Chain A
Amino acid sequence: DTEVTQTPKHLVMGMTNKKSLKCEQHMGHRAMYWYKQKAKKPPELMFVYSYEKLSINESVPSRFSPECPNSSLLNLHLHALQPEDSALYLCASSQPSWGQGALGEQYFGPGTRLTVT
């Protein structure tokens, strides 16, 4: 099973709301990622978790708060977002070490389309 699931598929929120995006994988991967993608652009890395610990934060504003409760789950908590944060948010997972497991490719979920009004 090479599936990464994300909920919700679509989310509309006001600038004062608090919401969360959820991601789940059951491939035994120990690295998980959050990406932000604007239309017709490549994904931009936001956060990387390795063995449930935050290893990379690409200078993301604090209104985005990631959480990795266990090796299968990844959350992204949203608070006081701006309209420019509207985008597709993609979760991905992979084996954490080069040369370990399969090919090292990242498997992506279907994404959450976020609109901030």
Chain B
Amino acid sequence: AQKITQTQPGMFVQEKEAVTLDCTYDTSDPSYGLFWYKQPSSGEMIFLIYQGSYDQQNATEGRYSLNFQKARKSANLVISASQLGDSAMYFCAMRVSGSARQLTFGSGTQLTVLP
């Protein structure tokens, strides 16, 4: 079975600062993908970034980067230069090759960016 753990129910960050949201995962499957989604209060789940288990380099997408430490089974999201619009719930999720269509979600981290 797969499991995603997000240990920070809530985080605060000052505008323009960087913030790291933690995510650890557990799977015995060697082939998997890790995803981060952002969910504003409006409800839509917005895909942010993806990391494959065989990817050699950490994924980056604009201000988002994924700090992937395979041996520690962690996939932390780093948001640089936080903006007020970054305030939202953030979910880490995983998909394994044997269950290619299903996502396992973590419990989420509520990020609040302070002006």
Contacts and interface: CB of A to CB of B under 8 A. Distances in A.
Interface of A: 31, 33, 40-43, 45, 48, 50, 55-56, 88, 90, 92, 94, 96-98, 103-111, 113
B95 to A, nearest CB: 6
A94 B52 CA distance: 16
Candidate in B95, B102, B103 with the most chain A CB atoms within 10 angstroms = B103
Contacts, number: 62
B44 A111 contact: yes
A110 to B, nearest CB: 4
A88 B44 CA distance: 10
Interface residues of B, number: 25
B105 A94 contact: no
B95 A43 contact: no
Contact of A42 (B50, B100, B101, B106): B106
Contacts of B12: none
